[in-house]
Amino acid sequence: MKIALAGKGGVGKTTISASLARYLADNGERVFAIDADPNANLALSLGLSREQAEKVVPISEMRDLIAQRTGVEPGSVGAYFKVNPKVDDLPDRFKLEHKGVMFLQVGAIKEPSAGCYCPENALLKSLLMNLVLQRDETVILDMEAGFEHLTRGTSQAFDAMIIVVEPSLQSVVTASRIQSLAEKIGIRNVFYVGNMVRDAEDRAFIERELEASTVIGFVAYSDEIRTAVRLGRAPYDVSPQLAADVAAIWDGVVRHV
């Protein structure tokens, strides 16, 4: 199963990605949790220590590797480079394992307008292609706002996108925009998860604003989650409610895909 998570800034994509990955690993699945956000914090949410998280170099910043695999120094303008570089050894070489989750920080796709940063982007896109098309582990992809990492080939290989929303109009409006974009690039299934819900009214709001049948679950607002992030602990380890909520969300995914 290959799942991408998206949503407005701050709605809980990273918290839910990390918790889903931890839940799957606890249940014996082989799972890659991939951080594709330039402002990376999936490592901490999975429960890696601050020291470990600070040491991680995103693959997009590995200049020697990019040059070696694409034939061109990162940032070169106008040079010819390999658009399909060898990447199949990279997941195992650079993954960090934590509580059964294989974590990979791939880094951001760079704006081609800022000069041609294409070798980095070619490497990252090939790497994601490899993870979703060639490997049989479950993939949970924590994405930044845009879909720059996805090509038509990769997006079609995803089983589903989960758009995280909170009970706010901004968040559902953003979610609808993301949904149209997801459809355009060929994502087969789009589901919503409501996060930070406090009561029945919050749930009803989300189900009313989005197509109710595509809302596959909710994560309750919890002070335990706030405490966990303050202490740099995995929310999944601290909040039994969150662990139960992501279990139910995964059941929903499996039932719908």
Ligand X SMILES: Nc1ncnc2c1ncn2[C@@H]1O[C@H](COP(=O)(O)OP(=O)(O)OP(=O)(O)O)[C@@H](O)[C@H]1O
Residue 76 or 176: the one with the smaller Cβ distance to ligand X is 176
Q: Is 196 in the site for ligand X (CB under 6 A)?
A: yes
Residue 14 or 121: the one with the smaller Cβ distance to Mg ion is 14
Q: Is 178 in the site for ligand X (CB under 6 A)?
A: no
Q: Tell me how far the alpha carbon of residue 203 is from its chain's centroid.
A: 24
Q: Pick out residues in 31-60 that bind ligand X (CB under 6 A).
A: 37
Residue 36 or 90: the one with the smaller Cβ distance to ligand X is 36
Q: Which does 225 bind (CB under 5 to 8 A by kind): Mg ion, ligand X, none?
A: ligand X
Q: Is 247 in the site for ligand X (CB under 6 A)?
A: no
CA distance 229 to 93: 28
* Interface residue with ligand X, options 15, 19, 70, 179 (CB under 6 A): 15
Q: To the nearest whole angstrom, how small is the minimum distance from the Cβ of residue 15 to ligand X?
A: 3
Positions in the binding site for ligand X (CB under 6 A): 7, 9-15, 37, 195-196, 219, 221-222, 225-226, 229
